[in-house]
Amino acid sequence: MPSLRARLTNAFLRLTTKSMWRPGLDIQKVRAHGAKMDARLGRNAPPVAIEEVEIDGVKATWYGEPGLTERGTVLYLHGGAWCLHFPNMYRRHATNLSRLTGMRVLLPDYRLAPEHPFPAAIDDCLAVYRWLVEQGHAARPLAVAGDSAGGSLTLVTLMRARNAMLPMPGCAVLLSPSTDLTLSGPSAKYNADADPMFAAGAADLLPPLYCDGQDLRNPLISPLFGNWDGLPPLLFHAGSTEMLLDDSVRAHDRALQAGVTAEIEVWRDVPHVFQVFAWLPEAKLAMRKVADFIVQHAQPVQREMPMITSEPAAVVVGVEAEIRQSA
């Protein structure tokens, strides 16, 4: 059973967020709703050293003392359906990640749709990653992480960096990533009612905002269909009742098919990207596991660049891990 706090959070999200996914979605109303949630849920964030910077025209924020970069760097790409950003919640999240890993965390404020549709966001993320490499961060422990749409951006950034012959980070973490914007995974249907945050209407409402008129199987939009050769070790987290559950399950399988070291944990009855809800015992446990994975794998590794080959079809496999709960 999920914790009481997780059950209450699910009920809150079902009441306030799931109901928004209906025809005629107004992105400005969604942003106004998101800003209220951000102010409420992101308050009382722990103190942390913050440095705002601009990298090749992309605004970004460092979390943690500058000296922490000697211990390593985490490039974190926030979620928000490519259209939203919750600065207070992600300030807390990035602060927590920095504290747990002992590394400095860089969170870019990539351009948002619909004002800046595809490929603006993926170009911004690659520009920031390239800058980190040029500044020597790949010679020290380096990880890339992201959640939801930021998980998609993480995978796309890795694939584009590999194709550009840039050094790979030591590892990457994907928290409830969107990997298939066609929503062809079975969980998009069988979890449509159980998911406390998303509804079936999201499949019709989000693509026109982010990538109107584009082929949704384009690997730059749906990295599930991309080439996975040569990617660094990957950790996937997802919730058992998420519509996007199979985005993680199938992506994990694609990684294994390509010979990539990959792990997946499916957490029972928790909301989409539950790790940002810092008050959940499941989030505390999950973030410790994320930090352990990053510390273990983020060391710089020299890898030969793979030949880019044609892609086999994805295979769906079922994976679920039993979780422990903390008090």
Return d(Cα 3, Cα 94) in angstroms, integer. 24
Name the strand (E) or helix (H) holding 63: strand 58-63
Question: Going by C-beta distance under 8 Å and a sequence separation of 6 or more, which residues neighbour residue 295?
Answer: 72, 101, 102, 141
Q: What is the DSSP letter of 144?
A: E
Q: What is the DSSP letter of 215?
A: -
Catalytic pick from 137, 242, 248, 282?
242
In contact, 292 and 233? CB cutoff 8 Å: no
Return d(Cα 12, Cα 135) in angstroms, integer. 43
Question: Going by C-beta distance under 8 Å and a sequence separation of 6 or more, which residues neighbour residue 33?
Answer: 16, 17, 20
* CA atoms 92, 103, 228, 167: torsion sign: positive
| φ, ψ of residue 81 in degrees (nearest 5) | 55, 30
Q: Which of 48, 152, 144 is nearest to 98 (CA)?
A: 48
For residue 70, how far is the Cα from the chain centroid?
A: 24
222 carries an active-site annotation: no
272 carries an active-site annotation: yes
Report residue 86 as tokens: 């919750």
Q: Which of 110, 196, 116 is nearest to 149 (CA)?
A: 110
Catalytic pick from 78, 237, 252, 272?
272
Report residue 188 as tokens: 């998009």
Catalytic pick from 3, 98, 148, 178?
148
Q: Which of 173, 184, 151, 183 is nearest to 82 (CA)?
A: 151
Helix residue ranges, H only, 140-244:
149-163, 187-190, 202-211
Q: What is the dihedral of CA 218, 222, 224, 225, to 10 degrees?
A: -10
148 carries an active-site annotation: yes
Please list the active-site residues: 148, 242, 272
